[in-house]
Structure 1
Amino acid sequence: MPRLISTEIAGRIEDLYGAPLAVLEAHAQGQPPGMLAALLAGHHDLAFAEQSITFHRERLAQLVHPERQIGVHEVSHVLECARRLAEAVAIRDVQAKTVSAVLRSLGRVEGPEPSPAPAPAAAAAVPTPPVRATSAAPTR
């Protein structure tokens, strides 16, 4: 059985949010759309594409079984099934790439290395002398 990318993605979502997928899905139901909702939708689409791949692969294997005769009518079914299989694989690959990229961008990041202590000021600023107010009366 081929490995399911959706299972790996589900595990990464659970690790990121610290809860099982079922709990996260229930929590996201009453919330406004956000990153969690987007990740769950991407996971759902990915899982659906994988189910479609399995279905069309099995159907194609039935259609081209060695004991089965392939006539003009069956050829169109074989071609259509192969087209749908290729489409499901393309969708799965795009969804996996997109959701994985988003998950990588949300991963925990190590804090920046502490910067060295600032060097002491070379010279203290010289205070500016106060400005004297003049009380001279205006001349005409």
Structure 2
Amino acid sequence: MSGVGATGAGGAAGLQQIIALRQQIIDRSALLQQVKDPAAAIGTAQGVAPAQPQGPAGGFTDALQSALDSVNASQQNAEALSSGYEKGEVTDIAKVMLARQQAGVAFEATLQVRNRLLSAYQDIMRMGV
């Protein structure tokens, strides 16, 4: 029965990470919406958008960099837990598997974003002037 309690605590931490990732996605989506339609963003944010003088390129690069850093941290965490499990330092296999799944999902999402960006770039390069 003690394994169930440990798994529940690990699951709660994993759930908190998933909720944090969801919030990051929502924040980035709002940022991208501001870039796409600044007039609508000013109306909904009520003056928050003009406080960003660096422009959309800085916001996008920062968002992309933070997303990549988050994916990298997730993969490093999964590797550390897997290594600890192999050495016998970590005994909660559910925690290890959850970290590996989170890293896998984060990597797949990053790969899909890369594919979409590459496709958009290729479409733009094919446009006639």
TM-score range normalised by the length of the shorter chain: 0.3 to 0.5
TM-score w.r.t. length of structure 1 = 0.42
- Pick the structure with more helix per residue: 2
**Structure label with greater radius of gyration:** 1
